[in-house]
Structure 1
Amino acid sequence: MTRIITALSEISADYDALFVDLWGCVHNGVAAMPAAVKALQEYRKTGGKVVLVTNSPRPRAGVTKQLVQFGVPEDAYDAIATSGDSARSAMYRGVVGQKVWHYGPVTDSRFFDPLDILDNPVEITRVPLSEATGIVCTGPFDAEADPETWRADLEVALKRNLKLLCANPDIIVDRGEVREWCAGAVAKMYSEMGGESLYFGKPHAPIYDLARRRLHKLGNDIPDTKILAIGDGILTDVKGGIDEGIDSLFISGGLAAAETKTVTQPDPEALTDYIKTEKYDPPFTIGHLR
């Protein structure tokens, strides 16, 4: 059964590195969460390493710029691993062919910037759906629209037996007070229709491999038993941690705030019911990172 803690410092001495989710944990899609930032700064002062592990479809450079806009200071983290970078690497290895249809807003166009970390990457061309060998989904065209509006395009893709590369496995996020759909929701619908969706963010292995490589580049060979994953997604952060053999700290005041009756801290009975329903039990839970 999960242990409810009141501060990261209660358990942080047992871990040499943190894999920390961003949205709903360090920022709310609009601004930084001051208590979370302070907790990470204090952890780093003890010698701990912080890798931000996010399902953002953006390249690492784009997330870095976004963090500046949100007010997350550079001394709160050491490195960043994004679902976007993991998915981009796969795309430039040709997992959905060379002619791809971009399913997503034009603001995600940086996803297709050249990638210089691969030897002999394939040449990717963006084309209409009718000419595509595969789909790259960075999110719905309209994150607040009825999901049924996605179905017509996905039916065309299904008839053509196209694979869909999902750049962000998250289903939903809360941008301030507004709940938005993510690429994971599109990929989930496509899979339920009978299509094949490929995932590279949490809870899937590729992004954890990327996070470990980021950690290694910092000069640290840290075993999984000394890493703590932190995040508000029980089906992404907690499940991913369980699958990778990494302990997790569940932030109940994010996506599951209503279900866990979290204001400052979760209601113990509501938290227990939620964990039983979702079937993933994190070692630790806290209302908000602090």
Structure 2
Amino acid sequence: MTRIIRSLDEIAANYDVLFCDLWGCVHNGISAYPAAVAALQRFREGGGQVCLLTNAPRPAPLVEAGFGRLGIPAEAYDSIVTSGDAAQDGLFAGAVGRRVWHIGPAKDDGFFDAPPEWNDAAPITRVGLEEAEGIVCTGPFDENSDTPEDYRAQLMLARERGLKLLCANPDIVVDLGDRRIYCAGAIAEFYEQMGGESLYFGKPHPPIYDLARRRLALRDGARILVIGDGIRTDIAGAVGEGLDSIFITGGLAAEHMGDDVENPDQARLDSWLAGQGMDATFSMGRLR
């Protein structure tokens, strides 16, 4: 049974590092949660390190560029590691070829800029589906209206040609304010259901955790705590890595946890987690 806690401070002394999800835990896509920001600042003031570990498909500098608008101060974190960072390694290593069809909005164009460690790699060229060697999906073209079903015809053609799909964000959905939108993971999952092959680099898959450890230069034995609201991404990733976790119930699963988003009902929580076949070390309504 997961233990419900009221504050990160209750357990902070037991950990050296936080791998903290961003969307749904620190912000809602529109603005930061002040209590969450304060909790991360207190953890760092106590000597801990904070890595914001996000399935955003954009490289870390592009994600960080939006922090001023969201209200996330530099004092709240030490490092940012994104699914986009890990997926870029796969892209420039040639995981889906060098001529790719991009599914995603213009805001993700920076994903195709080679990071410094890949400056000597052959360029990646975006082409139409008919000319592509592979697919890169960073999200829907229009996140306000598109669903995976909208891509059925193109994905059927891609499957027939045996194209692999590189998924830069394994999340299925996120909440933008009070609106739920599809992510790249939903399209990648749909492609697999159609018989295609999708490649993943973000949570819960190992590459993003390996990159986070390298970015923070963590020593062996560092006590890491994972925080997130995604049961199939954050919590599954923690289980796969053998790490303790806090499941933030007031995010994607809030509707299942009772009427008070800040205080999940223990019985509802236990029942829902059992139905997911997953458990977390701790749970909390919202990060504070």
Normalised to the residue count of structure 2, the TM-score between the two structures is 0.97
Q: How many residues align?
A: 286
1:65 aligns to what?
65
Classify the secondary structure of the residue corresponding to 2:66: helix
In the alignment, the residues of structure 1 paired with residue 88 and residue 54 of structure 2 have an alpha-carbon distance, to the nearest angstrom, of 14
Structure 1: unaligned runs, 5 residues or longer: none
Amino acid at match of 2:264: P
> Contact 1:40/1:77 (CA < 8 Å) preserved in 2?
yes
Once the two structures are superposed, the pairs formed by residues 167-206 of structure 1 within 5 Å of their partners are 167-206=168-207
In the alignment, the residues of structure 2 paired with residue 10 and residue 165 of structure 1 have an alpha-carbon distance, to the nearest angstrom, of 40
Deviations 1:129-170 (A, max 9, x none): 000000000001122323311111111111111000000000
Classify the secondary structure of the residue corresponding to 2:65: helix
1:272 aligns to what?
270
> Contact 2:6/2:284 (CA < 8 Å) preserved in 1?
yes
Once the two structures are superposed, the pairs formed by residues 48-197 of structure 1 within 5 Å of their partners are 48-118=48-118, 120-143=120-143, 144-197=145-198
In the alignment, the residues of structure 2 paired with residue 3 and residue 29 of structure 1 have an alpha-carbon distance, to the nearest angstrom, of 28
Classify the secondary structure of the residue corresponding to 1:189: helix
Normalised to the residue count of structure 1, the TM-score between the two structures is 0.96
Classify the secondary structure of the residue corresponding to 2:287: coil
1:247 aligns to what?
244
Classify the secondary structure of the residue corresponding to 2:86: helix
- 1:209 has 2:206 as partner: no
Classify the secondary structure of the residue corresponding to 1:289: coil
Amino acid at match of 2:91: M
> Contact 1:94/1:122 (CA < 8 Å) preserved in 2?
no
Structure 2: unaligned runs, 5 residues or longer: none
Deviations 1:234-279 (A, max 9, x none): 1100000000011110000000000122521111111011101111
Q: Which runs of 4+ in 1 moved over 3 A?
A: none
Amino acid at match of 2:228: G
Amino acid at match of 1:86: A
RMSD of aligned alpha carbons: 1.1
